[in-house]
């Protein structure tokens, strides 16, 4: 594989996604500052975790006074999909040898999409994957920092930053709602969460129980549609 080609393709293909990721990063930075995260903590989490969904959910749960155990359990659930991504990317990254331990840091939604498409067409290409991950990582860090700087200087109520949490999650959710099982998962999650909040108002288990139960409804719908 031509190294120059890998670098050029990695940069060109990662750039549009880097812009999209920067929008999420900006939101994360603002939200983290609303969850009483300092500048160093906000950027530190982006540097060390590098996962939009985990970081967003964590700051939202912190803002709602969730305890450490619940946050960890919920994020473990969120991270389950990384097992699939890692398994799918393993062959494409394998030629990197021990560097794959570093490249594995990029096993997350967007690099997975680009990496798996590349490996399918051209075979293993760890350099391409490194360029993609590095570009997206930089975009995530810089935008998190920018968001934290903006968020720290605003009065949350006056600027509606408290509304940014649910609105951001809604904007994250919508693009994925295309297939019936996914829609069923989202709707059943809404029903389960409302019921739990109604009967056990302000409890700490709504997210965990909903996260475990609602995908089962999605699976049920998937099977039903396949057999009909």
Partner 1 sequence: MIRNWLLIGLLAASTYLSRIIGLELMAGRKMSPALRSYFHYVPVGIISALIIKQIFVPTDGRIVISLPVLVACFITFVAMKMFKMFLPSVVVGVICGLFIRYLLNA
Identify residues 80-99 at the interface with partner 1 (CB under 8 A): 80-87, 89-91, 93
Q: Which of 48, 65, 155, 228 binds partner 1 (CB under 8 A)?
A: 48
Q: Which is nearer to partner 1, 3 or 197 (CB)?
A: 197
Q: How far is CA 64 from the centre of its chain?
A: 19
| # of chain residues touching partner 1 (CB under 8 A) | 94
Question: Would you say 2 or 117 has its CB closer to partner 1?
Answer: 117
**CA dihedral for 147, 131, 85, 98, sign (positive or negative):** negative
Residues 109-148 that bind partner 1 (CB under 8 A): none
Give the C-alpha separation, 6 to 87, whole Å.
22
Site for partner 1 in 10-29 (CB under 8 A): 20, 23-24, 26-27
| Cα–Cα dist 60/159, whole Å | 18
Question: Quick check: 42 and 150 in contact, CB under 8 A?
Answer: no
Largest CA distance in the chain: 61
Please tell me what DSSP assigns to residue 23.
H
Structural tokens at position 209: 């129980």
Using the rule CB under 8 A, is 218 a contact of partner 1?
yes
Q: Which of 7, 11, 70, 79 forms a contact with partner 1 (CB under 8 A)? A: 79
> In angstroms, rounded to a whole number, what is the distance separating the alpha carbons of residues 115 and 125?
8
Please name the residue that has the structure tokens 């473990």. 76
The residue among 11 and 182 lying less far from partner 1, judged by its C-beta, is 182
Q: Decide whether 4 or 212 has the Cβ nearer to partner 1.
A: 212
Instruction: Select 5 or 180, whichever has its Cβ closest to partner 1.
Output: 180
The correct pick among 8, 167, 180, 225 for binding partner 1 (CB under 8 A) is 167
Closest distance to partner 1 from the beta carbon of 8 (Å): 26
């Amino acid at each position: 594989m031509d190294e120059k080609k890998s670098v050029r393709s990695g940069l060109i293909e990662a750039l549009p996604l880097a812009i999209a990721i920067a929008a999420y990063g900006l939101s994360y930075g603002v939200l983290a500052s609303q969850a009483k995260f300092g500048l160093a903590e906000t950027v530190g989490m982006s540097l060390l975790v590098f996962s939009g969904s985990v970081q967003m959910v964590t700051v939202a749960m912190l803002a709602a006074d969730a305890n450490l155990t619940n946050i960890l359990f919920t994020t473990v659930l969120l991270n389950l999909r990384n097992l699939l991504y890692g398994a799918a990317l393993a062959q494409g990254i394998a030629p990197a040898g021990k560097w794959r331990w570093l490249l594995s840091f990029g096993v997350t939604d967007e690099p997975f999409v680009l990496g798996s498409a590349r490996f399918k067409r051209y075979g293993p290409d760890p350099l391409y994957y490194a360029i993609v991950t590095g570009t997206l990582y930089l975009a995530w860090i810089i935008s998190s920092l920018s968001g934290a700087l903006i968020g720290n200087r605003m009065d949350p109520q006056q600027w509606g930053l408290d509304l940014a949490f649910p609105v951001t999650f809604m904007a994250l959710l919508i693009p994925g709602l295309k297939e019936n099982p996914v829609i069923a998962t989202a709707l059943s999650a809404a029903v389960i969460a409302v019921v739990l909040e109604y009967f056990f108002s302000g409890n700490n288990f709504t997210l965990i129980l909903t996260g475990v139960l609602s995908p089962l409804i999605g699976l049920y719908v998937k099977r039903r549609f396949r057999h009909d």
